[in-house]
Structure 1
Amino acid sequence: MATFIGFSLTVPAAGSAGHPASCNASIKTVRILIVFEVVAFSFFLFSSLIAQSIKLTINLLNSLDPTDPHKADIDSSALKYGLCGSAFGSIMGCVFLMLSIVNFIQVKLGVFSCGHEPVYGVVVLVTCVGSALLVKTYGGVIDRLEIV
């Protein structure tokens, strides 16, 4: 929550890196930053609500059968689509949060054309987050192939 509040209170003129005024990000960059934050939060909330509703459904179905409390008769296609929707929301939330951090870097360190620091920060961010998203996305596929 503090991250979102800190991002939303960011203004280009208050950059703390001591770069020249010509390197300040435009107000459009700050607006895009806030839009990306809201979209990221929306996707994370979507993902969380889908996962929570699946969990609630499983718990409710398990409570109906006192003989076997660990068996839930759930439609497998509904479960599959729900899990895919939750994973999609989580991945898209990460993508939009990464995009908002890219704009945050421009606001705090200056636009990309004015120095190496913002470029280095973005390269490290995109490399780390991008590789983590690839592992998250394709890791489940690899695990599933080994099971079969």
Structure 2
Amino acid sequence: MASSNEYGIQQKNNDTSTTSIHVMALDEVVSANSLFTAAVFVGISLTSATSNNSLSSCNAGIDMVRNVIVFEVISFSCFLFSSIVAQGMKLAVNLINSNDPDEAFEAEVNTKLFSVGMVCAGIGSIFGFIFLLLSLVYVVQIQLGLLSCGGEATIRAVTALVVLVGSALALYVWTIYYSFTH
């Protein structure tokens, strides 16, 4: 038996879910990953060792520049993995949906398989965030000096970065957990 919601979208009263909600969730994953992928490329293009000729122990070395590149490539890989999983699931939902042209907003979706795909996409995004955060900590040290030297600007920048991004990441993880448990 089907019923209409306030938007006129048909909803089934069984184990299937509304297609438009699935597609919207997948679109949001891909959009967020695209934004962070762009940040990765900006970070890679701006990363270079400072041209300070002094051999101060507070200046970042070439190894730190290499770490930025490695972490940004890993971050990009995680975001790409997440986006491809989400796009593949979106394609599957749309193909399943096209089997019944009379019900444009409804498809038989295996919710367990969909949940596994969403968790995989979420995990890819989470690891992408973590590696992007690590690479940005290195970028700050390359530009402002090593954390171990206790420079005030470096400590403030890294603290703000870790607190704000860490809080957002914690909220993202909690939201994913909450959506699957309720």
Alignment match, 1:118: 154
- The one-letter code of the counterpart of 2:88 is S
Q: Is the 8 A contact 1:8 1:34 kept in 2?
A: no
Aligned to 2:49: 12
1:29 aligns with 2:64: yes
Aligned sequence identity (%): 42
The corresponding residue for 2:93 is 58
Shift in Å at residue 144 of structure 1? 5.6
| Residue identity in the other structure for 1:72 | A
Q: Which runs of 4+ in 1 moved over 4 A?
A: none
Higher relative contact order (CA 8 A, sep 6+): 1
Give the paired residue count: 143
1:75 to partner: Cα distance: 1.9
Using a 3 Å threshold, how does the CA distance of structure 1 residues 43 and 2 change in structure 2: closer, same or farther? closer
Query: CA 1:134–1:6 in 2, change beyond 3 Å: closer, same or farther?
Result: closer
Rate the CA distance shift 1:54–1:14 in 2: closer, same or farther, 3 A. same
Aligned residue for 1:64, secondary structure, equals coil
- 5+ residue gaps, structure 2, are 1-37
Unpaired stretches in structure 1, ≥5 consecutive residues? none
Shift of 1:3: 5.4
Distance 2:42 2:175 in 1: 33
In 1, Cα distance between equivalents of 2:140 and 2:44? 10
Superposed displacement of residue 143, structure 1: 5.2
- Note the alpha carbon deviations across 1:74-102, whole angstroms, 9 max, x for none: 22221011000011111111110000000
2:163 corresponds to 1:127: yes
TM-score, length of structure 2 as denominator length: 0.71
